[in-house]
A and B are shown apart, each in its own frame.
Chain A
Amino acid sequence: MTEANPVVLVVDDEVQIRRFLRAGLELDGFSVQDAETGADALRWATLKPPDLVILDLGLPDMDGSEVLERLRAWSSVPLIVLSVRSNEAEKVRLLESGADDYVVKPFGMAELLARAHAAMRRHVRVSTGEPVVKVGPLAIDLAARIVTINGARVMLTPKEYRLLQLLAQHAGNVVTHQFLLKEVWGSPHLHDTHYLRIFVRKLRQKIEVDPTQPRILLTELGVGYRLVVPEAASQVAAAN
């Protein structure tokens, strides 16, 4: 393991989960640091600032969401939460308080890696100011405000563009309904999810090959939307 490898901090109290995560992440070229407790995690995060954090919510000493909040007070490190199923409200809360994405237990390694890489890419994009986000055939030039599919210009209304821009900035990661509604329509419309449904339907008609079977702009039920790189998506599906 060389110093050039990105460092991932794995926070989970279950030894068997840590074991397979370590193996999978190391195979993918990460250098892994384990933490069993929330206190441990916060200590390691300061001692050896990681490039990625994978955080389980059920920790013996403190709630995972507390670790998230305390970490976010000073660090913008990409962070993926390991969540349990059937609690969409909790997922949304974690995303609002700064998690980049989540995977639901049990999960496959490919799914976790896809989420993690997307979060890390976004981090790099923000710090380097790279203007163009490529999502398969779709290219979104955030500086010139131009959207193309396979080089051909796509005409979007201002709100459609704003919606796509927000999703593109988080390409590969989920973006919550509340965030999109607040950014596009403003706080009074936080619960008008049907506004989103209408504009997403219009957007899909412009950017998807078959709008009834979207491959780029995917719905995360009860949580939000995710812009997916189609090749990466099919790789994930194949590996899963």
Chain B
Amino acid sequence: MVGMDAVRRELRGSAIALVMVAVTTVVVYALTQSLEVRRGSVIYLLPVLLAGWHLGLIPALVAAVAGVLWSGYFFFSPYYSFYLARPNEILNLVLFMVVAGVTSHLANSMKMQTEIARKREKEMGDLYAFSRRLAAASSAADIYLAIEQHLASLVQRKVVLFGTGSGGDRDAKPDQGALSQRVHSAIAEVQAGRTLATTVDDGAGDIWLVRRVSQKNTDFGVIAIDLGSVRPSDIDEVRKRVDDVLSDAAATLERLDVARALNDAKMRSETELLREALIGSVSHELRTPLASILGAATVLSKSAVIAKDERLTSLAGVVRDEADRLNNDIQNLLDATRISRAQIRPRQEWIEPQDIVNSALERRRRRLSAHTLSLDVDSNLPFIYVDPVLVEQAFGQIVDNAAKYSPPGSPITVAAKRNGRDVVLSVHDEGVGLTAQENAQLGERFFRGARHAATTSGSGLGLWIAKAFVTANGGKIEAASAGADQGTTVSIHLPFATPASQPEVGPDD
């Protein structure tokens, strides 16, 4: 089958080569007639080169022999005969044969070299991309997806990969629904270890090869490859080619230590789930008693006995403030959990920017009472299309930070301004400031500068949450500081747009 194909290919190539020689002859004949060129035979090297490059060695040799015969026939005396009169012309033609042979061989081998180099480059590129994806993959599902695509590009066929054991998330993959029942049961067979590899007809005319990715290592899972509509007699041949590619790929997976990456990823996601479930339930369990503590403190501070004793009212105030702070920390933990589970879904609406600022400040009036607050809000700011609750929480966080990291009595300036296509909400304090290095790390989860930790307690979650909330609304947060103890300005930049429709304002409105 393969042999027949090759013969057919060479015959086709040779035919094309002969056509090229014929065309060359016409051209050379035209040249000799019009320009009195006597030695046109060197032009016959052109079809030889072309055939060698594009069609292979045999067509090139055919072109060389045909070139010798044609040029002898047309351009050496006696003309229009294969007989050559002078011995030096015979030598000429022999030389031509040698040069043509060498040229075609060179052209052909150069072409093969180029192809090999190109293929190798592509393979290296693919492999590099694959290993980069592996390094970036955060879950087992990601890794399996990377392996699947890598193998699909190697075997150049449709490939579906099934992970091992607890790969529950893999079952949700939509295109697996397209696999026929027969392929599924073959996969189950292989997964259960009853057989190492099998081929199965999917009922729609395609043959599928189902096998472990690696015969040694079960971690890489089971792969189903669509071989297409292959004749039964050719299955073994096609299968052997795919097997060869796969055993190379499996060796690569071993080398890249994919198995350990997979296990790590599985372990990590389980730990993460457990941690978040714990945070969720602990936060809930803490909030109910906190509501009682805070509520009770406010009742106590109003009672006649306590209200007339300043020491006692201040104590009730302490209970309330600390409960408030604790509640904030719990809210942060819950928000952080929501963010890492990607459960932030902004409910966007048109909103007056100053409403966000005022609401955040009103909520923190007690916490800000130790500072001198000044407001600089433009009166005619454009509306912004954001989730006002998320942006208020983000802005409130920045205000909290300003109050936390600047000394009591120092001023805090809150501004809302238009800047180009953005509305900018900013908070400036005259507190501990930021060094360039601290600024770079700012907003990482759990980051707290050593100087900040010394100032006051905190979880390091606040700004990270604020960043996530603002980003979810299409904005960004920036921090600026002249350095340690030089104060800080943190700003939220939100792009604004114009509402699509305006209310019709007539004389009656």
Contact = CB atoms under 8 A, between A and B. Distances in A.
B503 A185 contact: yes
Interface residues of B, number: 50
A88 B291 contact: no
A105 B375 CA distance: 29
Nearest to A195: B503
B389 A23 contact: no
Interface in A163-210: 177, 185, 189, 192-195, 197-201
Interface string B250-292: 0000000000000000000000000000000000000111111
B373 to A, nearest CB: 11
A237 interface: yes
Interface residues of A, number: 48
A213 B358 contact: yes
- The A interface, classified by DSSP as helix, strand, loop or mixed, is helix
A20 B299 contact: yes
Given A27-B299, A212-B354, A212-B379, A106 B291 contact: yes
> Looking at A86, A108, A110, A239, which has the most chain B CB atoms within 10 Å of its CB?
A108
A214 B334 CA distance: 31
A195 B349 CA distance: 11
Contacts of A221: 351, 355-356, 359, 388-389, 392
Contact of A108 (B290, B298, B392): B298
A198 B320 CA distance: 38
Nearest to B499: A194
Contacts of B320: 108
Interface string A78-109: 00000011101100000000000000011111
Given A27-B302, A106-B327, A212 B377 contact: yes
Contact of A17 (B295, B302, B508): B295
Given A105-B291, A106-B295, A192 B503 contact: yes
A150 interface: no
Given A194-B350, A221-B355, A107 B302 contact: no
Contacts of A219: 352, 355, 358-359
Contacts of B331: 85-86
A73 B295 CA distance: 31
B289 A16 contact: yes
B492 to A, nearest CB: 15
A194 B383 contact: yes
Interface string A217-240: 011111000000000000001011
B296 interface: yes
Contacts of B355: 219, 221
Contacts of A20: 292, 295-296, 299
A14 B379 CA distance: 46
A88 B347 CA distance: 9
Contacts of B240: none
Contact of A107 (B291, B377, B509): B291
A101 B379 CA distance: 30
Given A106-B294, A158-B508, A193 B349 contact: yes
A211 interface: yes
Interface in B212-250: none
Contacts of B308: none
Contacts of B120: none
A214 to B, nearest CB: 7
A232 to B, nearest CB: 14
Contacts of A21: 295
Interface in A59-76: none
Given A14-B292, A159-B509, A240 B366 contact: yes
B365 interface: yes
Given A105-B291, A108-B294, A239 B302 contact: yes
A114 B436 CA distance: 47
A239 B307 CA distance: 11
B291 A213 contact: no
Contacts of A127: none
A189 B502 CA distance: 11
B166 interface: no
Contacts of A27: 299, 302-303
A34 to B, nearest CB: 15
B442 interface: no
A213 B509 contact: no
Given A14-B288, A109-B295, 4 more contacts: A106-B327, A160-B509, A194-B350, A240-B365
10 contacts: A16-B296, A21-B295, A23-B299, A106-B324, A107-B295, A195-B503, A212-B378, A219-B352, A219-B359, A221-B388
Interface of B: 287-296, 298-299, 301-303, 320, 323-324, 327, 331, 334-335, 347, 349-352, 354-356, 358-359, 362, 365-366, 375, 377-379, 383, 387-389, 392, 499, 501-503, 508-509
The 9 A-B residue pairs with the shortest CB-CB distance in the complex, in nearest-first order = A194-B350, A16-B292, A219-B355, A108-B298, A106-B294, A106-B291, A24-B299, A221-B388, A20-B296
